[in-house]
């Protein structure tokens, strides 16, 4: 009984490896700025993999980056120059059906922490 269940698990694993997963990745995923008021200016690459070949469009929640659609089934990357103060969410949709396929997020982080001054002695201390 144990050998039978191991054999079934092996078949399922082989099927999972043969199927591609639809995904969208943004590289780099994080942009670090020196302070909260500084815009992140960076060139990002969006790379996608599809379970089956189809034309896609990429949308963002930032109005400065309009909808982009590919015209070739062989294209799987796009590079974009980004200048933003806030995170950007990218969504990949099917060009034909407008169905959402995958998403990725560019996170903007400030390197500087707010300065907090702490007193180490009591206000009434003589020292």
pLDDT in tens, 10-22: 333 333 343 568 8
Question: For the domain 20-110, what is the CATH superfamily, name and number?
Answer: SoxY domain (2.60.40.2470)
DSSP 71: S
Query: Cβ contacts of residue 114 below 8 Å, gap of 6+?
Result: none
**Segments of the chain with pLDDT less than 50:** 1-18
Q: Tell me the whole-structure pTM to 2 decimals.
A: 0.69
The pLDDT of residue 114: 59
Structure tokens at 121: 């002695």
Domain map (residue ranges) of the chain = 20-110
Within the chain, residue ranges assigned H as helices are: 2-18
The strand pairing partners of 84, in sequence order, are 40
């Amino acid at each position: 009984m144990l050998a039978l269940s191991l054999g079934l698990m092996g078949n399922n694993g082989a099927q999972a490896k043969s199927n591609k997963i639809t995904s969208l990745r943004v590289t780099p995923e994080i942009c670090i700025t020196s302070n909260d008021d500084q815009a992140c200016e960076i060139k990002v690459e969006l790379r996608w993999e599809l379970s089956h070949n189809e034309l896609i469009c990429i949308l963002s929640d930032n109005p400065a980056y309009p909808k982009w659609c590919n015209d070739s089934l062989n294209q799987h990357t796009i590079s974009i120059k980004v200048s933003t103060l806030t995170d950007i969410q990218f969504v990949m949709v099917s060009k034909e059906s407008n169905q959402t396929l995958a998403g990725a997020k560019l996170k903007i982080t400030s390197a500087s922490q707010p300065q907090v001054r702490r007193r180490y002695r009591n206000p009434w201390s003589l020292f």
